[in-house]
């Protein structure tokens, strides 16, 4: 009887675990059509730990959050000019969502537009493609982190450097 109770408990637990994991599973799509220009490492070999996507066109219309869920996005605008090749460290515009599990998803370097404001949305526009902050050219930087450490598993197996992507492409999955 005791053995049957253990099996029953294990079966119930097995059913519960996937539903808990699914509660924090969000698909990330490309924020605009472009090319993946960096992932885990830069071309120099130094650690990057994020996905960079560029269309190659400064002020390209319509940078979207990419995450397929109605989330509360905190948009921080540090500069209002049209910058395509960097404005210095700490001046990048940012859209971020902090999850209840302690992880944060961020988009950096976009140009401020009338769409750059705090809100809850499902894949909403936050600005145009730019190069605000510490950037060498127009792109969007997508980063998933926890306690200051960049997480790379969210895009592993979904996208690679040099890949052409459009808005329907899955870049990764946040968990």
Buried b (16+ CB within 10 A) or exposed e, 45-59: eeebbbbbbbbeebb
Three-state DSSP class for residue 73: strand
Q: Is the pLDDT of residue 157 over 60?
A: yes
**pLDDT value at position 36?**
98
Question: Structure pTM?
Answer: 0.85
Q: Is the pLDDT of residue 24 over 80?
A: no
**pLDDT value at position 60?**
95
For residues 13-20, give the mean pLDDT.
42
Structure confidence by residue, pLDDT tens digits, 44-79: 999 999 999 999 999 999 999 999 999 999 999 999
CATH 1.20.1730.10 assigned to domain 25-174? The reply is no
Measured CA to CA, the distance from residue 140 to residue 55 in angstroms comes to 9
Mean pLDDT, the chain, rounded, equals 89
Q: Is the pLDDT of residue 3 over 90?
A: no
Cβ atoms within 10 Å, residue 94: 20
User: Pick the residue with more confidence: 120 or 12?
Assistant: 120
Measured CA to CA, the distance from residue 69 to residue 145 in angstroms comes to 18
């Amino acid at each position: 009887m005791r053995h049957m109770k253990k099996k029953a408990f294990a079966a119930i637990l097995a059913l519960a675990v996937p539903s808990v994991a699914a509660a924090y599973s969000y698909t990330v799509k490309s924020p605009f059509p472009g090319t993946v220009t960096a992932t885990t490492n830069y071309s120099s070999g130094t650690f990057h730990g994020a996905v960079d996507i560029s269309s190659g066109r400064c002020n390209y219309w319509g940078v979207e959050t990419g995450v397929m869920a109605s989330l509360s996005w905190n948009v921080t605008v540090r500069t209002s000019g049209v910058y395509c090749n960097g404005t210095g460290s700490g001046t990048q515009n940012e859209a971020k969502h902090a999850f209840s599990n302690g992880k944060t998803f961020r988009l950096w370097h976009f140009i401020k537009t009338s769409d750059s404001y705090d809100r809850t949305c499902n894949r909403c526009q936050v600005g145009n493609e730019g190069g605000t902050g510490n950037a060498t050219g127009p792109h969007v930087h997508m980063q998933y982190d926890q306690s200051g450490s960049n997480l790379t598993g969210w895009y592993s197996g979904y996208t690679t450097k040099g890949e052409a992507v459009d808005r329907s492409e899955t870049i990764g999955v946040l968990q």
